[in-house]
Chains A and B, each alone.
Chain A
Amino acid sequence: MGLTLVSRKDPLASSQVQLKRLAAVEACPPFEDMLAAAGLQPLHATGITIFQINVGKFCNQSCRHCHVDAGPERTEQMTRETAELCISALARTDIPTVDITGGAPELNPNFRWLVEQSRAMGRHVMDRCNLTVLLLKPQADLAEFLANNRVEVVASLPYFQSAQTDAQRGEGVFEKSIQAMRMLNRLGYGVEGSGLVLNLVHNPVGAFLPAKQDAAEAQFRRELLRRHGVVFNNLYTITNMPISRFLEFLIESGNYEGYMERLANAFNPVAAAGVMCRFTLSVGWDGTLYDCDFNQMLDLPLGNGAPRHIRDFDLAKLDTRRIVTANHCYGCTAGTGSSCGGTVA
């Protein structure tokens, strides 16, 4: 039996079950009421600057907090045909940034093609990397490929110690992650003046909010250099979203109601105004369009008349589309806010 909800046939593998659970939290009002009180309802996009492509759910890891429910046994992968539709849509825009995620996006056979095509159009490319993928034998040339294409690596590392990191991401992941960081550092990633950017992502290892981003970045920079001799550029703090495997953890540990109450009590209108869905388009592995990667995992595609598939891409309609929201959105608006690029307020 695998570690994913799907392989365990857990009821929470169903997005409908998750949405029902999210809608029935006593401690927090409907998210839309909070948006209305902040003068933001209905929430609209403000132009797309990030074209995020989720190329599939296949991953060499099975992290306990994964909002994708990704893992080695997942088979959903973006095909070349859908990847071509993405590049074709991108070519009709001047969206500056392509953000490739998964699963482990590098394990999709079309990953490198997507990178090369995006770079050939002069777009900035981000790879959401779990670090350990760089040590897989068939990926021996991956780090050099990323460096040669000047890809920004956004790497997950929840803590600067093994106990916490391994508790979230799996036994032995911390040591491998440090090895991978050393490999990237040797190529110039994270090294001042190289132009090769290595950013880290910190998710809390448990049912609490992340530290302030600047304080956490300083702490990680000091401790990773002192303990392991590795460097990076920026650290992004991301709040764990109460969906999928993190939702399972919250329920099983008896923390669900408390965590949701914590998120709702920390609702910040400034963070809500700056949420990433307002400037991101998220493309699923099968070409379906979403406001963000979280909506994607909850099977909440674009609504309100916006195109729903990459083959129907229409920038004018997407630029100002109405955003689809539900109670999981509290995860992006708590405290200083949370996005794929860290805090927003």
Chain B
Amino acid sequence: MDTYYHPHDLTKFAEMGKGNKELWDKFIGYYSAVFAAGALSEREKALIALGVAHAVQCPYCIDAYTQTCLEKGSNVEEMTEAVHVACAIRGGSSLVHGVQMRNVVDKLSM
């Protein structure tokens, strides 16, 4: 069965530069700068990226940043906790919207 997502498509990412090289160069320059060591280490940034990858549910990003996390020296316990952070924020985000539900209920109810 075919699928929209192919693992080997990840290596074609740079082909996005063919449509607009200037924007691609700006993006990739920014991207590289973001992941360079700064106030946070490269390892910490990779763990954040892994969490975000799960929040946005991007299989390419999950594949890439799982490998990056391992290559930056993180272990599966740390990576699992990063995924739980994403899960908690996504779950919390749903739950906190329950306040809006309650506001509407309060408004409509006698």
Residues of A within 8 A of B (CB): 159, 161, 164, 204, 206, 208-212, 215-216, 219
Mask for B32-56, Cβ within 8 A of A = 1, else 0? 0000000001110000000000000
Question: Which residue from chain B places its CB closest to the CB of A261 in the assembled complex?
Answer: B11
- A209: chain B residues at CB < 8 Å are 71
| Bound form: Cα–Cα A159–B76 in Å | 12
Q: Are A159 and B75 in contact (CB under 8 A)?
A: yes
Q: In whole Å, how far is A144's beta carbon from the nearest beta carbon of chain B?
A: 33
Mask for B55-85, Cβ within 8 A of A = 1, else 0? 0000000000001001111010000000000
Q: In whole Å, how far is A335's beta carbon from the nearest beta carbon of chain B?
A: 9
| Bound form: Cα–Cα A284–B67 in Å | 35
| Bound form: Cα–Cα A215–B67 in Å | 17
| Bound form: Cα–Cα A22–B73 in Å | 27
Mask for B9-29, Cβ within 8 A of A = 1, else 0? 000000000000000000000
- B71: chain A residues at CB < 8 Å are 204, 208-211
Could you show 5 A-B contacts with beta carbons less than 8 Å apart? A161-B75, A204-B71, A209-B71, A215-B72, A215-B73
| Dominant secondary structure of chain B at its interface with chain A | helix
| Bound form: Cα–Cα A159–B74 in Å | 10
- B43: chain A residues at CB < 8 Å are 211, 215, 219
| Bound form: Cα–Cα A164–B43 in Å | 18
| Dominant secondary structure of chain A at its interface with chain B | loop
**Interface residue tally of chain B, by bracket?**
under 10
- B75: chain A residues at CB < 8 Å are 159, 161, 164
- B70: chain A residues at CB < 8 Å are 204, 206, 208
- B72: chain A residues at CB < 8 Å are 211-212, 215
| Bound form: Cα–Cα A274–B58 in Å | 38
Q: In whole Å, how far is B33's beta carbon from the nearest beta carbon of chain A?
A: 17
Q: Which of B70-103 contact A (CB under 8 A)?
A: 70-73, 75
- A161: chain B residues at CB < 8 Å are 75
| Bound form: Cα–Cα A118–B15 in Å | 56
- A210: chain B residues at CB < 8 Å are 71
Q: In whole Å, how far is A240's beta carbon from the nearest beta carbon of chain B?
A: 12
CB-based closest 4 A-B pairs: A211-B73, A208-B70, A209-B71, A208-B71
| Bound form: Cα–Cα A164–B77 in Å | 11
Q: In whole Å, how far is A210's beta carbon from the nearest beta carbon of chain B?
A: 7
Q: Are A208 and B73 in contact (CB under 8 A)?
A: no
Indicate which residue in A204, A206, A208, A215 contacts B42 across the interface (CB closer than 8 Å): A215
**Which of A161, A211, A216, A219 has the most B CB atoms < 10 Å from its CB?**
A211
Q: Are B73 and A216 in contact (CB under 8 A)?
A: yes
